[in-house]
Amino acid sequence: MTKNCIGKAVLLVGSMFLAYSVDAQYKHQPGKGSSDPQSPSEAQASVSSPQFKPIAGTPEGTREATIFTHALPRVRSRLAIRTIIVPAGKPVTLVAENEGVFEIRAGSASDESEGKTKKLKRGEVWQVSRGTRVTLRAAEELAVVRAIYLIPAEN
């Protein structure tokens, strides 16, 4: 129980730190921040598109892209944020590479893990431990899953 609470606290603190540091970096870049507004076309040009790649061992159409990574030296870890596309049709089994959280960002899905079926709607979040196998089936055309991992530093 205590380990679970510590993990959640580390994820929460890491997320807050990440949001603060990204905001601070953005505001201190030349031509950015509230003092020098950017046109929408300039803002869109400065954001790169994520590069989605197939996930080995999953049905065709299942893809993943790393959206953001950030070192957290004080907790000797790094934060990795990924987007996973789960196509409709066949169930997709994802293995959590590290401790973290999954969130349904778009669409809906059912979690068919451990012999039980649980319906997941947009916005639902659940914690995963390293090595957890999560079997998802998109209920619509597709489901978009956000995976936020806390990756311990290698010793």
Q: Which residue has the tokens 């995976």?
A: 147
For the ranges 23-32, 74-83, 93-102, 105-114, the lowest mean pLDDT is seen at 23-32
- The answer on pLDDT for 26 being more than 60 is no
For the ranges 32-46, 57-71, 124-138, the lowest mean pLDDT is seen at 32-46
- The answer on pLDDT for 18 being more than 50 is no
| Pairwise CA distance, residues 100 & 107, whole Å | 21
How do strand 99-106 and strand 109-111 relate by DSSP bridges?
unpaired
| Pairwise CA distance, residues 91 & 84, whole Å | 14
Measured CA distances, 10 to 21, 34, 67, 76 (Å): 16, 30, 20, 11
What is the value of pTM for the model shown?
A: 0.68
- The answer on pLDDT for 15 being more than 90 is no
Q: Please say whether the structural domain 46-152 has been given the CATH code 2.60.120.10.
A: yes
According to the model, what pLDDT value does residue 114 have? Answer: 76
What is the mean predicted confidence (pLDDT) over 6-30? Answer: 49
Name every residue whose Cβ is closer than 8 Å to that of residue 62 and which is 6 or more positions away in sequence.
54, 55, 84, 85, 86, 87, 92
Categorize the per-residue pLDDT at 6 as very low, low, confident or very high, splitting at 50, 70 and 90.
Answer: low
